[in-house]
Amino acid sequence: MHKYTGQERFLLAADCIIFGFDGANIKLLLIHRGLEPMKDHWSLMGGFVQKNETPDEAANRVLEDLTGLKNVYMEQLHVFGAPDRDPVERTLSIAYFALIDIHKYEKQLTHEHHAEWFELNELPELIFDHNEMVKMAKKQLRYKAALHPILFQLLPEKFTIPQLQALYEGIYQSKLDDRNFSRKLLSTGLLIKLPEKEKLSSKKGAFYYKLDQSNYLENFEAFLNFIPNPDRFFKD
Protein backbone atom coordinates (compact mmCIF):
# COMPACT_ATOMS: atom_id res chain seq x y z
CA MET A 1 0.00 0.00 0.00
CA HIS A 2 1.42 3.35 -1.04
CA LYS A 3 1.67 6.22 1.42
CA TYR A 4 2.10 9.93 0.87
CA THR A 5 5.50 10.13 2.51
CA GLY A 6 6.99 13.38 3.60
CA GLN A 7 3.61 15.12 3.86
CA GLU A 8 2.52 16.99 6.97
CA ARG A 9 -0.53 15.72 8.80
CA PHE A 10 -3.15 18.03 10.27
CA LEU A 11 -6.55 17.78 11.96
CA LEU A 12 -9.98 18.25 10.39
CA ALA A 13 -12.88 19.63 12.40
CA ALA A 14 -16.56 20.35 11.82
CA ASP A 15 -18.24 23.40 13.38
CA CYS A 16 -22.00 23.93 13.50
CA ILE A 17 -23.67 27.35 13.29
CA ILE A 18 -27.30 26.97 14.34
CA PHE A 19 -29.65 29.92 13.99
CA GLY A 20 -33.12 29.64 15.49
CA PHE A 21 -36.40 31.56 15.40
CA ASP A 22 -38.57 31.63 18.54
CA GLY A 23 -41.55 33.42 17.02
CA ALA A 24 -40.17 36.88 17.71
CA ASN A 25 -36.38 36.88 17.39
CA ILE A 26 -33.57 35.22 15.44
CA LYS A 27 -31.04 33.67 17.81
CA LEU A 28 -27.74 31.75 17.71
CA LEU A 29 -27.04 28.58 19.70
CA LEU A 30 -23.77 28.53 21.66
CA ILE A 31 -22.12 26.26 24.22
CA HIS A 32 -19.31 26.44 26.77
CA ARG A 33 -16.13 24.95 25.30
CA GLY A 34 -15.26 21.79 27.23
CA LEU A 35 -11.49 21.63 26.75
CA GLU A 36 -8.38 23.78 26.77
CA PRO A 37 -7.41 26.17 25.37
CA MET A 38 -10.18 28.66 26.19
CA LYS A 39 -12.14 26.14 28.22
CA ASP A 40 -15.56 27.43 29.39
CA HIS A 41 -15.55 30.26 26.83
CA TRP A 42 -18.54 30.58 24.51
CA SER A 43 -18.17 28.56 21.34
CA LEU A 44 -19.96 27.14 18.35
CA MET A 45 -20.57 23.39 18.46
CA GLY A 46 -17.43 21.79 17.07
CA GLY A 47 -15.40 18.60 17.08
CA PHE A 48 -12.91 16.56 15.08
CA VAL A 49 -13.81 14.42 12.07
CA GLN A 50 -13.02 10.77 12.78
CA LYS A 51 -11.32 8.39 10.33
CA ASN A 52 -14.47 6.38 9.69
CA GLU A 53 -16.93 9.24 9.00
CA THR A 54 -17.61 11.92 6.43
CA PRO A 55 -17.55 15.62 7.43
CA ASP A 56 -21.38 15.69 7.15
CA GLU A 57 -21.66 12.73 9.52
CA ALA A 58 -19.20 14.37 11.91
CA ALA A 59 -21.19 17.61 11.96
CA ASN A 60 -24.40 15.78 12.83
CA ARG A 61 -22.66 13.69 15.50
CA VAL A 62 -21.00 16.73 17.07
CA LEU A 63 -24.25 18.69 17.14
CA GLU A 64 -26.14 15.84 18.81
CA ASP A 65 -23.34 15.06 21.30
CA LEU A 66 -23.02 18.68 22.45
CA THR A 67 -26.64 19.87 22.33
CA GLY A 68 -28.94 16.88 21.92
CA LEU A 69 -30.24 18.22 18.59
CA LYS A 70 -30.66 15.65 15.84
CA ASN A 71 -32.20 15.45 12.38
CA VAL A 72 -31.19 19.05 11.70
CA TYR A 73 -30.52 19.70 8.01
CA MET A 74 -27.27 21.66 7.81
CA GLU A 75 -25.64 23.17 4.74
CA GLN A 76 -21.90 23.26 4.26
CA LEU A 77 -20.79 26.88 4.44
CA HIS A 78 -17.02 27.24 4.05
CA VAL A 79 -13.64 25.77 4.96
CA PHE A 80 -11.70 27.85 7.49
CA GLY A 81 -8.00 27.11 7.26
CA ALA A 82 -5.83 29.94 8.52
CA PRO A 83 -2.58 28.28 9.69
CA ASP A 84 -2.86 29.83 13.15
CA ARG A 85 -6.62 29.51 13.67
CA ASP A 86 -6.11 26.88 16.40
CA PRO A 87 -3.25 27.69 18.80
CA VAL A 88 -2.66 24.03 19.70
CA GLU A 89 -2.31 22.27 16.37
CA ARG A 90 -2.85 22.91 12.65
CA THR A 91 -6.59 22.37 12.15
CA LEU A 92 -8.89 22.92 9.20
CA SER A 93 -12.57 23.44 10.01
CA ILE A 94 -15.54 22.79 7.74
CA ALA A 95 -18.37 25.04 8.92
CA TYR A 96 -22.03 24.09 8.59
CA PHE A 97 -25.10 26.22 9.23
CA ALA A 98 -28.85 25.81 9.67
CA LEU A 99 -31.93 27.86 10.53
CA ILE A 100 -34.47 26.04 12.72
CA ASP A 101 -37.71 26.57 14.62
CA ILE A 102 -36.55 26.78 18.25
CA HIS A 103 -39.86 25.51 19.63
CA LYS A 104 -39.75 22.42 17.39
CA TYR A 105 -36.41 21.34 18.86
CA GLU A 106 -36.62 22.71 22.43
CA LYS A 107 -37.45 19.32 23.98
CA GLN A 108 -34.29 17.81 22.45
CA LEU A 109 -31.93 20.48 23.78
CA THR A 110 -29.62 19.30 26.56
CA HIS A 111 -27.66 21.54 28.91
CA GLU A 112 -24.62 19.42 29.75
CA HIS A 113 -22.47 21.91 27.86
CA HIS A 114 -24.58 24.95 28.87
CA ALA A 115 -26.23 25.24 25.46
CA GLU A 116 -27.92 28.63 25.29
CA TRP A 117 -29.69 30.77 22.66
CA PHE A 118 -28.39 34.34 22.16
CA GLU A 119 -30.00 37.15 20.19
CA LEU A 120 -27.80 38.23 17.29
CA ASN A 121 -27.23 41.72 18.66
CA GLU A 122 -26.19 40.35 22.07
CA LEU A 123 -23.58 37.74 21.11
CA PRO A 124 -20.63 37.20 23.47
CA GLU A 125 -17.04 37.04 22.21
CA LEU A 126 -16.39 33.59 20.73
CA ILE A 127 -13.27 31.43 20.61
CA PHE A 128 -10.75 31.24 17.75
CA ASP A 129 -12.28 32.35 14.43
CA HIS A 130 -15.87 31.52 15.37
CA ASN A 131 -16.92 35.17 15.13
CA GLU A 132 -15.77 35.13 11.50
CA MET A 133 -17.77 31.94 10.89
CA VAL A 134 -20.94 33.52 12.29
CA LYS A 135 -20.42 36.65 10.21
CA MET A 136 -20.14 34.60 7.02
CA ALA A 137 -23.15 32.44 7.96
CA LYS A 138 -25.30 35.53 8.58
CA LYS A 139 -24.37 36.86 5.15
CA GLN A 140 -25.26 33.56 3.48
CA LEU A 141 -28.55 33.36 5.40
CA ARG A 142 -29.47 36.87 4.26
CA TYR A 143 -28.76 36.01 0.64
CA LYS A 144 -30.91 32.88 0.90
CA ALA A 145 -33.74 34.80 2.55
CA ALA A 146 -33.60 37.44 -0.19
CA LEU A 147 -33.60 34.96 -3.06
CA HIS A 148 -35.84 32.17 -1.79
CA PRO A 149 -38.76 31.98 0.66
CA ILE A 150 -36.94 29.74 3.16
CA LEU A 151 -38.29 31.70 6.13
CA PHE A 152 -41.85 30.46 5.61
CA GLN A 153 -40.71 27.09 6.91
CA LEU A 154 -40.34 28.67 10.37
CA LEU A 155 -43.85 30.10 10.54
CA PRO A 156 -46.99 28.39 11.87
CA GLU A 157 -49.63 27.25 9.37
CA LYS A 158 -51.43 30.59 9.74
CA PHE A 159 -49.52 33.80 10.35
CA THR A 160 -49.85 37.57 10.12
CA ILE A 161 -47.84 39.88 7.89
CA PRO A 162 -46.33 41.62 10.97
CA GLN A 163 -45.12 38.21 12.21
CA LEU A 164 -43.41 37.50 8.91
CA GLN A 165 -41.95 41.01 8.84
CA ALA A 166 -40.51 40.48 12.34
CA LEU A 167 -38.77 37.35 11.04
CA TYR A 168 -37.22 39.18 8.08
CA GLU A 169 -36.19 42.09 10.31
CA GLY A 170 -34.51 39.60 12.64
CA ILE A 171 -32.52 38.11 9.76
CA TYR A 172 -31.44 41.49 8.40
CA GLN A 173 -31.23 43.24 11.80
CA SER A 174 -32.84 46.26 10.22
CA LYS A 175 -36.28 47.91 10.22
CA LEU A 176 -38.19 47.34 6.98
CA ASP A 177 -40.84 49.72 5.65
CA ASP A 178 -44.25 48.36 6.72
CA ARG A 179 -46.26 49.38 3.65
CA ASN A 180 -43.60 48.37 1.15
CA PHE A 181 -43.10 44.99 2.81
CA SER A 182 -46.85 44.26 2.86
CA ARG A 183 -47.30 45.38 -0.76
CA LYS A 184 -44.43 43.21 -2.02
CA LEU A 185 -45.60 40.22 -0.04
CA LEU A 186 -49.19 40.38 -1.26
CA SER A 187 -48.11 41.00 -4.86
CA THR A 188 -46.61 37.49 -5.03
CA GLY A 189 -50.10 36.00 -5.12
CA LEU A 190 -48.93 33.10 -2.97
CA LEU A 191 -50.75 34.04 0.23
CA ILE A 192 -54.33 33.16 1.08
CA LYS A 193 -56.13 35.66 3.32
CA LEU A 194 -58.13 34.08 6.13
CA PRO A 195 -61.29 35.57 7.67
CA GLU A 196 -59.93 35.62 11.23
CA LYS A 197 -57.70 38.18 12.91
CA GLU A 198 -54.93 38.10 15.50
CA LYS A 199 -55.99 40.71 18.09
CA LEU A 200 -53.41 40.34 20.84
CA SER A 201 -50.90 42.71 19.23
CA SER A 202 -53.29 45.59 18.53
CA LYS A 203 -56.93 46.65 18.97
CA LYS A 204 -57.49 46.73 15.21
CA GLY A 205 -55.91 43.31 14.75
CA ALA A 206 -54.10 41.80 11.78
CA PHE A 207 -55.60 39.28 9.38
CA TYR A 208 -54.14 35.81 9.33
CA TYR A 209 -52.74 34.41 6.08
CA LYS A 210 -51.54 31.01 4.98
CA LEU A 211 -49.18 29.95 2.22
CA ASP A 212 -50.86 28.70 -0.95
CA GLN A 213 -49.16 25.30 -1.05
CA SER A 214 -50.70 24.41 -4.42
CA ASN A 215 -48.81 27.24 -6.16
CA TYR A 216 -45.84 27.59 -3.84
CA LEU A 217 -43.43 25.13 -5.47
CA GLU A 218 -44.33 26.11 -9.03
CA ASN A 219 -44.24 29.86 -8.45
CA PHE A 220 -41.69 30.41 -5.69
CA GLU A 221 -39.80 32.61 -8.20
CA ALA A 222 -42.33 35.30 -7.25
CA PHE A 223 -40.29 35.73 -4.06
CA LEU A 224 -36.98 36.24 -5.84
CA ASN A 225 -35.35 39.52 -4.90
CA PHE A 226 -37.99 39.93 -2.20
CA ILE A 227 -35.43 42.03 -0.32
CA PRO A 228 -33.97 44.63 -2.73
CA ASN A 229 -30.19 45.09 -2.76
CA PRO A 230 -29.44 42.66 0.08
CA ASP A 231 -25.77 43.70 0.00
CA ARG A 232 -26.64 46.88 1.83
CA PHE A 233 -27.43 44.77 4.90
CA PHE A 234 -24.01 43.05 4.95
CA LYS A 235 -22.16 45.53 7.12
CA ASP A 236 -21.51 42.99 9.87
pLDDT tens-digit profile of 165-195?
888 888 888 888 888 888 888 888 888 899 9
Q: Tell me, what DSSP letter sits at residue 210?
A: E
High-pLDDT (> 90) share of the chain, %: 50
**Which has the higher per-residue pLDDT, 147 or 65?**
65
Q: Tell me, what DSSP letter sits at residue 188?
A: T
Helix (H, G, I), strand (E, B) or coil at 121: helix
> Rounded to an integer, what distance in angstroms lies between the CA atom of residue 77 and that of residue 59?
12
Look at 61-70, 146-155, 219-228 and tell me which has the smallest mean pLDDT. Answer: 219-228
High-pLDDT (> 70) share of the chain, %: 88
Q: How far is CA 212 from CA 59, 108, 185, 215, 226, in A?
A: 34, 31, 13, 6, 17
Look at 124-133, 150-159, 216-225 and tell me which has the smallest mean pLDDT. Answer: 216-225
Look at 59-63, 123-127, 142-146, 158-162 and tell me which has the smallest mean pLDDT. Answer: 142-146
CA angle, corner 51, sides to 49 and 52, nearest 5? 100
pLDDT score at 226: 60
CA angle, corner 171, sides to 150 and 227, nearest 5? 70
pTM: 0.84
How many secondary structure helices (H) and strands (E) does the chain include? Answer: 6, 10
Average pLDDT over residues 15-38: 92
Cβ neighbours for 123, distance < 8 A, ≥ 6 positions apart: 28, 30, 131, 134
Helix (H, G, I), strand (E, B) or coil at 75: strand
pLDDT score at 199: 76
CA angle, corner 42, sides to 124 and 64, nearest 5? 130
pLDDT score at 200: 73
Q: Tell me, what DSSP letter sits at residue 179?
A: H
